[in-house]
Amino acid sequence: MVLEFRAENDRVKGWRGLACVALIVAVICLDSLLSVLLESLFGDLVSTIAFWVIGGLVALWTLRYFVMGYSYVLSGTVLRISHLYSRYERAMETIYTSTIVSAGEPEEVLGRHKDARVVRALLSRCPVPPYAVAFKREGVITVYLVQVDEKMRARLAEIAKENRK
């Protein structure tokens, strides 16, 4: 049985989409004006650095809030966590179910594995609450915070319980 869930931001449509595009264009224009002002005050180097830093921050914000998401696929003996960029996926982690040591609410799992490395595969604006999956690879425990539906939560908890026996 294959379980799949995608944590994505809401699609921007209509007037909201136009407002977002207008806001991004306005910020880029203000960035350009700031660059000209900084060039006259401090020179080319400061102006160029400021232009690229502000432009990069706008690009990261746009990517994070409008494009990026996460895909979680539990199939047979593997949990695959991937970055989603619109409709394209890039693998982030492959976790074999035999290595899962615990699964549950983040406070509970992080309380059990205090020294574990924590990786967040979460979207801040997604309404699905976080869920923690701890697995052991080469003697090191890693906890992934994910946003999955109830079916996948139940199956992951079941797998963790089976592995504890």
Q: What does the pLDDT profile of the chain (165 residues) look like in tens digits? A: 788 888 877 677 788 778 878 888 888 888 888 888 888 888 888 888 888 888 888 888 877 777 788 889 999 889 999 988 877 888 889 999 999 999 999 999 999 998 899 999 888 878 889 999 999 988 899 999 999 999 999 999 999 998 877
Domain count, the chain: 2
Q: What is the pTM of this model?
A: 0.74
Instruction: Kindly state whether residues 142 and 126 are assigned to the same domain.
Output: yes
Picking from 36, 67, 98, the residue at the C-terminal end of a domain is: 67
pLDDT of residue 143: 94
Enter the tokens of residue 136: 């052991």
CA distances from 44 to 27, 37, 54, 57, 153 (A): 20, 10, 15, 20, 54
pLDDT of residue 125: 79
Instruction: Kindly state whether residues 76 and 156 are assigned to the same domain.
Output: yes
Does residue 3 lie in a domain region?
A: no
Instruction: Kindly state whether residues 125 and 144 are assigned to the same domain.
Output: yes
pLDDT of residue 32: 84
Does residue 131 lie in a domain region?
A: yes
Instruction: Kindly state whether residues 74 and 146 are assigned to the same domain.
Output: yes
Enter the tokens of residue 85: 């960029």
Write the CB contacts of 136 (distance below 8 Å, at least 6 apart in sequence).
99, 101, 142
For residue 103, the enclosing domain spans 69-164
